[in-house]
Amino acid sequence: MTKRLRPPGGHPPPTTAQTPGGSTIDLVALAEEICRRYRQEFGDEQERYEPVTATREWCIHDNQHLLNWAVLSLSELCDFSSQVAWLARVLEAREFPLERLARNLEIAAEVVMSKAAADGKALGPVLRDGAGFVRAG
């Protein structure tokens, strides 16, 4: 069964974030790479949701938020687990498989570890812990 998605609306996610070490992280570029890898792994998303452009937009939108929350959590300005729990509840209500959210967080950790500047790599463990948190329910 195909589900119809509307593009993300409301308040847009931030496009950059400042790490505690002072580096600026391009959240859009990282989110786009996360989504590219996610789509490679889960090609059936294009069959589950229409239009495909909205699926991509939501993926980037949600990942920008996830990355920003992870950055904020490094300075204790945000409780990453609480934010991930909120997103998981929203996605679950929309019948999105939570295992895929967990895997997305693992992919995000991989992307950050390979693409971010040195102090941005601290996001990797935060994102991996988020995956474990989702799996633990």
What residue segments make up the domains of the chain, in order of their start? 23-136
Mean pLDDT score, 49-73? 86
Tell me how far apart the alpha carbons of residues 78 and 70 are, in angstroms, rounded to a whole number.
8
- What are the beta bridge partners of residue 24? 18
Beta-sheet strands, E only, within the chain? 3-4, 16-18, 24-26, 49-50
pLDDT category, 120, cuts 50, 70, 90?
Answer: confident
pLDDT computed for residue 52 by the predictor: 60
Mean of all residue pLDDT scores within the chain: 89
- What are the beta bridge partners of residue 25? 17
CATH pick for 23-136 out of 1.10.490, 3.30.70, 1.10.1660, 2.60.40: 1.10.490
Tell me how far apart the alpha carbons of residues 56 and 75 are, in angstroms, rounded to a whole number.
30
pLDDT category, 110, cuts 50, 70, 90?
Answer: very high
pLDDT computed for residue 43 by the predictor: 84
